[in-house]
Each structure stands twice: as C-alpha cells, then as structure tokens.
Structure 1
C-alpha cells in the first residue's frame, strides 16, 4: 500500500467522523428545541455512545467504530448514527460476492480489505415526520478502491413539497460535480431501494451510488463528501415543519406498517447489512437500522 493511499484512507475516515459529529449535534439540537406539539412535554433525547470492536477469526484486532443511538426521544423514537473503520481479510462468501458483483480478479489470492463509513437511520415519533436513511463509505482492497452511499426519504405519509425539497437539496449539492450526477444517482436509488416481493419502492427515493471509482480519488471523495453535506439541509427543515403536527391512530398505524416494509428491505436486500454480518462486525451496530416497533397486516 502506498503512502498516498494510507493518507487518503485516513482523510476519508476523519471525514466520516466529522460528519457524524455534525449530525449528532444537529439531532440533539432538534430534541432540545421541540417546545410545542406532540411529545414536547417529554424529556429531550440524548445519544448513548458505545465503542464497537471487530475481531478476526484468529481473535486479533480488526477495527471497530462508534455506535451512537438515541431511543425514546421526543422527536426521534429511535435513531442510530454509526461510524466504523474495519480491516482484515474477507471470508470465502464475502470474497465470492465481491468478485462476482464487482468483477475484481485476485480476491482469493489476496483477500485483504479496509472499509470506513458512516451509516444513519432515523425512525421518528410523529408519523408526519419521515423516516430517513443515509450512508457514505470508502472500501479498499489491494485490487481496487471505491466509494458508495447516498440518502433516501421514507415517509409513511407523503407530502409532495417535502419530497421536492429533499430531492432539490441533493441536486443542488451534486450539480457542481456535473449536471449528470443527480439524475444518475437518483435513478440508481430508485432501482436500489425497490422491494421486489412487494412490487414497490421503500420510500420516495433520493440518491445512491456504489462502486464509484472514476480513477480520480480526490474527485470521487469530494462527491462523497457533498452527498454527506446535503443530508442535514435536506432533512432537518422537514423535521422542524412536521414535528408539531397532531396525528391520529390511523396515522400511527400507517407508520408502523411502513416500518415493517423498511425492516423487510433491510433484512432481505440491503448490501450493507449483509456485508456487516458476513464480515463479523458488531451485530447490534449492523442491525441498529431496524425500527423499535413495527406492524404487519
């Protein structure tokens, strides 16, 4: 591994940590500022932070991260903001999946890997406030490196103006990287966050990319950073607008049913869930995306 790649990996991991800190502060700020409307008489929620560790098959250190979870807040019923930096060697199943999906030769001969990223899922108290997901990551092997990630909105009660704001904010952040980027990543999200057995999308979409390697590491990292930077201005105004709305039992029921849809997707299709479990990362951190309560009909 070159000195340049060592520095690039350190820069990426530091960025994911910085983004995590910004989001945690913003979410705790939303809890503290919720002074009217449903649940405003509750105590504001705060994140509980736990260090996670990953060990290799032989018991040696293989990295870890921070799991930051808020439960029972007055705005956020459950939200997790995790960062990780893990490394080691890929097992046979992960090697085969990586080689098949990404077309990387030589994985069996040299299965070393390094990965770092941020992963966020928020399930909200008020059913008028949309659930949301965001992650960005960098992955390295001796054979290739790439970036991935995105964010998508998952309302159980859709408001057209909220969807429009979420998408417009992402487009604004992606346009400096080329006006083709937002349409490309939006179409990718529409395809990726689709649930075949339900024949419907998980939510109202967003942006998503994987295997991003243009050959220019700095350009791809800058794109990844702006995907992360778009998140708070795309999401926070929606929370501030909808958290004060009253709701009835029908709205809460719709929220619980939609959460069931979310859980199905994450357990059956999500690549990050599969990769985290197959590579031995902390199961609680991998599965923090699951909602606290859900319902199936």
Structure 2
C-alpha cells in the first residue's frame, strides 16, 4: 500500500500542475488591460502530526477573480471529532487505531465575468489501517445558467464514468445532487455534476484509474465554458446576480461541506482549507 499511496499522491500533484498551467495559459489568451493573472504558491503545513501541501491561489486575473488549486499529502492521528465521524461512516477499526493518510487535489474557481460559471473539483485517496478509498468529483456553479453549458459539463463527466461502469454516472450525478443541496435554502448550490466517496470495489487499480479519469475530464469539461463566457459583456445587474449567488456558495461550504470540516478538524492550514470561499459575496 505504500507504493500505491505514493502513486496516488504523485498523480494528484501532476494534475495540480497541469491545471495551474492551463489556467495561466487561459489568462494569457484573454483580452484585457490588466496583466494576466498568476498563481501565488505557498507551502502549507499541519498544526497536528505530519505532512502538508501546496496552496496555489490566483487573485484579480483577467478571467479568474479568485481561483485556488491545492494539493496535499498528510498523515497522522485523527482528532477525536474526526475519529468519531469516521467511525459513524463505518470505517473499520478506526476507534482502535486512528492513524490515517490522505492525499488529493482540491480546486474552486470564482470568475470575473458573471456569465462564466464558478466550478469545484476534488479527487482524493484516504487510507487508514483498516480501509482505503477514493472520493471526489466536479460540479458546476453558474450564476447565470446556460443549458448548453450544463449539458457540456455533464456530458464530459459522463464520458469519464461510462468506460468504468455504465451505472456510475447516474449514481454519482444523483449523489452530487443530494450532496450539494442547501437545506436551509431549499435549493441546489449549482447545476451539479458528479460526486463519489468511499469508493473501494476491492481492487485498487481500477478504482485509481477511474479517479484519474475524473480528474483528467475536468479541463475539457470546464475550460471551453470559461474561455467563451469570459468574453461576453455584462451589466451591473449581472454582477449583482453573481454576488448574491456567491452567498450560496459561502453558506454551503461553511455549514455543510464535509471536506471543510475535516480539514479544520485535522489541523490543516485554515487559509488552504477556506480558499474555496469567494473573494466577494452579497446577501439581500
């Protein structure tokens, strides 16, 4: 399992590098008086136990108002709150041996143009002495929805799922619809995508291959939408709509998101954990 953990961590790091390069290239292609945006890269550490990661954040670009692409590889002993949560999810042996290892990539992009959709993507591997699993997915969060963009995003996610299991897309789309729902608002955060967790079919290689394909599908699913919509003119009313919609994103991530809770409970750098929050938002 040591070799498998290293392969997973290396893959997530390589995917992070690929996405960062693609986003900076998009900034270079975009028109505008401002200089193209660039990522500020900061190593991160954990307050408890070992490991860390890379926090990469771009602010004030031509296309991206704020985007974070984080990679991490962490290990140690689960704190009581996280240990209890894992036990409640049925992780075997976690109460007797709370050691863990985890690696993954997490991405959230908030756009300058209200017509360009915000987006989230995450893939990860988690290990304990009694279990291992993969999780992740991607979901689109437009402030102003275009049905053809939603269709393109979902079609590309389905193309990552079908070669592995023709039931995956329907199953993981439904999971995303449930997971990214905001109960106190009675509505979804965005237009969905796919979400999966606790993926362990008993054979590590095909589960890792599926997780890689989900990560590789992200740029084809999102980049054409971001590039095309970022060229559209927008009004002050459009910007107002965008800021109000971002409030939904902030509410969800602070109240419900399991990854946010886990990151804070395990002592990871809070700036890295909370990089998903939008730079500006509005409530009415």
Q: TM-score range by the shorter chain?
A: over 0.9
Match of 1:44?
Answer: 36
Q: Structure 2: how far apart are the matches of 1:160 and 1:291?
A: 24
Query: Partner residue of 1:236?
Result: 223
Deviation for aligned residue 1:178:
1.6
TM-score by length of 2: 0.99
Q: Using the alignment, how far apart are the partners of 2:198 and 2:10 within structure 1?
A: 21
Task: Find runs of 4+ consecutive structure 1 residues off by over 4 angstroms.
Answer: none
1:63 corresponds to? 51
196, 216, 226: which one aligns with 2:183: 196
| 1:134-283 equivalent positions in 2, closer than 5 A | 134-283=121-270
TM-score scaled by length of structure 1: 0.95
- Cα distance in 2 for partners of 1:164, 1:9 equals 34
1:116 is aligned to 103
Q: Find the residue that maps to 1:146 and give its secondary structure.
A: strand
Shift in Å, 1:104: 2.1
Give distance in 1, aligned partners of 2:275 and 2:160: 28
1:285 paired to 2:281: no
Q: Which runs of 5+ in 1 are unaligned?
A: none
Figure out how many residues of one structure are paired with residues of the other and give that number: 284
Q: Tell me which residue corresponds to 1:82.
A: 70
The alpha-carbon deviation at position 55 of structure 1 amounts to 3.4
TM superposition shift of 1:106: 2.3
**Post-superposition shift, 1:122?**
0.1
SS for the counterpart of 1:132 is strand
Deviation (angstroms), 1:236? 0.4
Q: Following TM superposition, by how much is the alpha carbon of 1:105 offset from its aligned partner in structure 2, in angstroms?
A: 3.3
Q: Which residue of 2 aligns with 1:99?
A: 87
